[in-house]
Amino acid sequence: MKRVFRWGLGGLVGVLALGAAAIAWLDAADAPPSAHPRPVATDAATIDRGRYLAQAGNCAACHTRRGEPPYAGGEALHTPFGTVYGGNLTPHARTGLGAWSTDDFWRALHHGRSRDGRMLTPAFPYPHFTQVTREDSDALFAFLRSVPAVDRASTPNALAFPYNTQLALKVWRALYFRPGTFAVQPAQSAEWNRGAYLVNGLGHCAACHGTRNAMGATIDDRSFDGSTIPGQGWYAPALTLATEGSVSAWSVADVVGLLRDGVAPGTGATVVGPMAEVVARSTQHLSVADVQAMAVFLRDLPQRPPAEAPRARPADTRTLDRGAKVYADQCATCHGERGEGQSGVFPALAGNRAVTMADPVNVVRVVLHGGYGPSTAGRPRPHGMPPFGHVLDDADIAAVTTHIRTAWGNAGTPVNQVQVVQILAVQP
């Protein structure tokens, strides 16, 4: 009986999927550009606004290669399905957006289609940018048309079959993508709504923080429930869990500090890895009013009850002794004998949820590769954490991360050598 029911359900899902795919075939030409698109604005005020919006959307992160001209494209993005490349967004007539109209650009942002109608891969966060208003889209385009044109052909994507086909994208989009408009929540304040617009739209925070299904789609009602970033060796913590990255118990000032300066003064929390890049390239440039609005929205995200404490075998005494010794020799000078840190200089490791989080990948990565916080106006020269990947072997890394996750009342789980080797195998 149960089995028949399962089959029935499976069949139903299959029929629905086929139906959705068929609908996608039908809407193949959604919103073709009109014959008379709005002209591109050339006034300084619109261009400035567009520049600001480009920072809010962190367009440069994926469309600028280190050391090359801004927005000329070529930056590689590793996904579980292969590598894709952000294209040339400069106004070059042949290799950039020089021949595009405001309608073409809107179609890319809102519908995820290129000028020739080609469906774009969702590594370009259009499932989030679809919420951007037409007015903001036009301002963004006005700005991009004002940057120096660079002749640089876009690098072709290198996706594995079948992900490199338009049919696969068609089915994916039918299942997981709807062009959307930002819906104002009238019960909420104007500030909350502004924050929601920035976080869900241009900020595309859920592109990293949203839980994904096996097809790489963020799951609608789990937009902030945390995720291993696809193709990269980092975990973006749940913004809905007090034990991970939630800010619901933080003051607005702390959230603003984290996003603008890279450190929350009241909690001592810092940002590392991909989040340090987000702060460095995007959020630090936003106005205090906008970041405050984001903070109001983020603090109000519905919270989940704390996950059950993970059950793990405690580490053996040899590992614990070894970890304590490595810590005393290598780490205590900065982070303190008892992991207390040094306020404003070196983060405390005792009572630090970034250290004890269920998924140890970020901690191991920080110890292996070190890192700097973002350099920001509020904190221009942050102290750096030295890399230990060359100083310590895998067993030492496992032992010292186990030590900091379990000492001084920290209730994290041990890390073993196999986990360290697995984390090393993924190049961020």
Q: Which stretch binds ligand HEC (CB under 6 A): 20-28, 38-46, 124-132, 300-308?
A: 124-132
Q: Which residues contact 275 (CB under 8 A, 6 or more apart)?
A: 236
Number of residues engaging ligand HEC in binding (CB under 6 A): 77
Q: Which stretch binds ligand HEC (CB under 6 A): 41-49, 184-192, 306-314, 345-353?
A: 345-353
Query: Omega of the bond prior to 162 within 30 degrees of 0, cis?
Result: yes
Distance CA 194, CA 207 (A): 19
Footprint of ligand HEC on 227-256 (CB under 6 A)? 229, 234, 236-237, 239, 245, 247
Q: Please identify which residue in 330, 375, 410, 417 interacts with ligand HEC, judged by CB under 6 A.
A: 330
Footprint of ligand HEC on 47-76 (CB under 6 A)? 54, 57-59, 61-63
Q: Does 108 bind ligand HEC (CB under 6 A)?
A: yes
Q: Which residues contact 133 (CB under 8 A, 6 or more apart)?
A: 181, 182
Q: Please identify which residue in 139, 293, 367, 368 interacts with ligand HEC, judged by CB under 6 A.
A: 367
Q: Which stretch binds ligand HEC (CB under 6 A): 13-21, 179-187, 307-315, 331-339?
A: 331-339
| 153 φ, ψ (degrees, to nearest 5) | -65, 140
Q: Does 415 bind ligand HEC (CB under 6 A)?
A: no
Q: Specify the residue, 3 or 321, whose C-beta has the smaller distance to ligand HEC.
A: 321
CA distance to 12, 324, 335, 416, 419, per residue, from 320 (Å): 53, 6, 18, 11, 17
Distance CA 393, CA 389 (A): 7
Shortest CB 255 distance to ligand HEC, Å = 7
> Considering only CA atoms, which of 307, 328, 306, 239 is closest in space to residue 275?
239
Q: Does 150 bind ligand HEC (CB under 6 A)?
A: no
Residues in the chain: 428
Q: Does 260 bind ligand HEC (CB under 6 A)?
A: no
Q: Does 273 bind ligand HEC (CB under 6 A)?
A: yes
What are 64-67's contacts with CB under 8 Å, separation 24+? none
